[in-house]
Amino acid sequence: MKNRVDWTDERLGSNVYEDMVSVLISRLHPQAQRIDGAGGDDGRDVQLPLPTGLEIFQLKRFTGRLDERSGRRRQVEKSLKKAAKHDPAAWYLVVPINHTDGELKWFSDLTAEYPFPCVWRGKDWLDDQMASHPELPRYYLEDSNSEIVRMMREINQEQAALARGVPDLVKRVRTLKDRLNTLDPHYGFSFSIQPGGAINVTAHPRYPGAEKDRPIMIGGAFRFPDTEHGKRVANALQDSFNYGTPTVVPSEFVKSLSIDAPANFGGVFEGGELKVGGAIDNTPLADARFALRIKDAQGTVKAHLPLTATERTSGQRGIELKLVDLVGTISVTARFDMQTHRVKINYAFHQPENILPGTLLQAVRFMAEMGEGRSVTMVLNGTEIGPPIDMSASYPDAGELAKLLRVLDDIQRISGVYFVVPRSLSDGEIESITEVHRYLTSQSVVSQWNRLSFTATKAWLGTPEAQQLKEGSVSDFTTGQDLLLRLGEDIFNLGRIQMTCASAKIAFVTELPDSADSKAEVEVTLVPGDDSSISVSVV
């Protein structure tokens, strides 16, 4: 390879120059975004969004002087004026010439009118960068095929190096790996050699968007039978092309494959299983706030569920977004068809382990609003996108589950005792939950009673209150106990309750020996007197 790039090389046309320098900037700044100039780049060949502001790079393949007669100065002035409309934090002119004193004065006078710094990146800067990234001129200006063939031959030969010792092998393989990674500016490579002799080579994008600058092209011939399985696989492959979704085509459906991959790692293959990974778009969705919104037939909003995007794939026809609600209970797949401008939405519910009722409630309430006569719409940053989609599926049990979760949430917020949603509940446990909720949410609960047991001491049996209960009914007898909720093997103490019986009398007292201590405990059972009503309130 030459030590320096000949910037006057005829092979280095404007498009090649822009491609090569754009990839260089992407390698230096992975956040860089290339602007397609097909409809006019508006003064930006490459832009770099940073927390400090937007930096803009203008690429000009000028190899002659920037004088008035050539019209090049007017081109730069026009580009800078357009770029200034974007209020950049900095602007860079990247040209393969070093400025003269006269050109520097003209550039300084021109840029002094603007409030942001403007920098001339010239031939010296480009030469330094190309020397640090030799794979760039090798890829765009030289034929690397012979180097690829030679390296793959060496990789095969290295399998015999095991007899020389593993440390020597590791060193030599690492050297080959480093050489392999000088072949392509868009992708880095890793490889492994299997015990059977097979060599696995994996291409990794060097920067976000590399797969767009140099896509991996796949073609082939397939035979899909007119069966359910065949149709399903064919549709999945078409979706992979249209929306970038991952799929696997079994070998029984593959006649041949042709692959155009970086660094000539491709070719034509007969048969074999085809695994297509997702075309994941890692471009950040800055400030994108998604949600699903349910409306009734009159257009009234019945539910609104915020969502977070977890993955985005893109293909020839549109993009597919995978989203999830804020607690991970509802997963949503939204497919945007750019040709028809329609959105297809699929959603699924999953109850996580160890989740609090109040946390689960928002998703279940949303599901409870689904059903016929309702429509769902995707919302982006508060604005509905795409037409409403009629809902046919419903979750008939969601309404009852939402009521139960709301009751459990009330119990926890009032008592301060929190516990996860039980996986299952018996009818008796649901009745207990309802009763506890009544106690906690009312000043007092009046009901009927027929038997009440509590623990007292031997000394209490000698009190006037106990004597009255033995001799006859007592009005407004008050006692207290812990408010307990039993769910499965768990017992939750939610506080104390006070019980006031309108009338009560002792029905039974466990016997104690005369020698028992005054603090010895007995079990007292009461029954109603003339009035069997009881008032219960939380202390």
Cβ(375)–Cβ(295) below 8 Å:
yes
Cβ(388)–Cβ(295) below 8 Å:
yes
- Please say whether the dihedral angle defined by the alpha carbons of residues 122, 124, 125 and 126, taken in this order, is positive or negative: positive
Residue-wise over 43-82: b if at least 16 C-beta within 10 A, else e?
Answer: bbbbbbeeeeebbbbbbbbbeeebeeeeebbeebeebbeb
How many CB atoms sit inside 10 A of residue 408's CB? 26
Q: How far is CA 297 from the centre of its chain?
A: 32
The Cα 36–Cα 48 span in angstroms is 14
Cβ(238)–Cβ(224) below 8 Å:
no
Is 26 strand, coil or helix?
helix
Cβ(150)–Cβ(143) below 8 Å:
no
Is 422 strand, coil or helix?
coil
Query: What string of pLDDT tens digits covers the 539 residues of the chain?
Result: 455 789 988 888 878 899 999 999 999 998 898 887 654 556 688 999 999 999 999 999 998 888 878 889 999 999 999 999 999 999 999 999 999 999 999 999 999 999 999 999 999 999 999 999 988 888 888 765 555 556 555 555 544 444 455 666 667 667 767 777 777 788 888 777 777 766 677 788 888 888 778 888 878 899 999 999 999 999 999 999 899 899 999 999 999 988 888 777 778 888 788 888 877 776 666 678 999 999 999 999 999 999 999 999 988 899 999 999 999 999 999 998 988 888 888 888 888 888 999 999 999 999 999 988 899 999 999 999 878 888 877 777 888 999 999 999 999 999 999 999 998 999 999 999 999 999 999 888 999 999 998 889 999 988 998 999 988 888 999 988 899 999 999 999 999 999 999 999 999 999 888 888 989 999 999 999 999 999 999 98
Structure tokens at 6: 């000949």
Q: Please give the mean pLDDT across all residues of the chain.
A: 86
- Predicted confidence at residue 161, as pLDDT, reads 45
Cβ(306)–Cβ(326) below 8 Å:
yes
Structure tokens at 15: 């498009």
Residue 472 DSSP one-character state: S
Structure tokens at 523: 């079990």
Nearby residues of 447 by Cβ (< 8 Å), 6 or more positions away: 533, 534, 536
Structure tokens at 282: 């890692």
Closest C-alpha to 26, from 57, 54, 1 = 57
Q: How far is CA 46 from the centre of its chain?
A: 27
Residue-wise over 161-191: b if at least 16 C-beta within 10 A, else e?
Answer: eeeeeeeebeeebeeeeeebbbbbbbbbbee
Residue 226 DSSP one-character state: S
- Predicted confidence at residue 162, as pLDDT, reads 47
Sorted by where each begins, the domain ranges of the chain are 14-141, 216-276, 290-400, 427-538
Residue 97 DSSP one-character state: S
Q: Which helix (H) or strand (E) holds 304?
A: strand 301-314
pLDDT tens by residue, 154-176:
555 544 444 455 666 667 667 76
Residue 72 DSSP one-character state: H
Count, residues in the chain: 539
Name the CATH topology of 14-141.
Trna Endonuclease; Chain: A, domain 1 (3.40.1350)
H-type alpha helices, 312-451: 357-368, 398-415, 427-441
